[in-house]
Amino acid sequence: MPPLAYCCDHKAEMDAESQCGVREVERPRTQAGESPLRKRLGEMG
């Protein structure tokens, strides 16, 4: 973990990198659609 001063000085860069990682995880999830388990759980209420 970087020192706090580094984090404060590079906050925008670190936030952008974090958002990029989130998008990389979300993309396959949205492309895959609803999983069979999630569908069954939704039907259960």
CB-CB contact of 17 with 10 (8 Å): no
Query: Which residues have CB under 8 Å from 42's CB, separation 6+?
Result: 34
Predicted local distance difference test score (pLDDT) of residue 15: 92
The predicted-structure confidence for 2-41, as pLDDT tens digits, reads as follows 788 988 899 999 999 999 888 888 888 778 888 899 899 9
| 10 alpha carbon, distance to own chain's centre | 20
Could you tell me the pTM of the whole model? 0.47
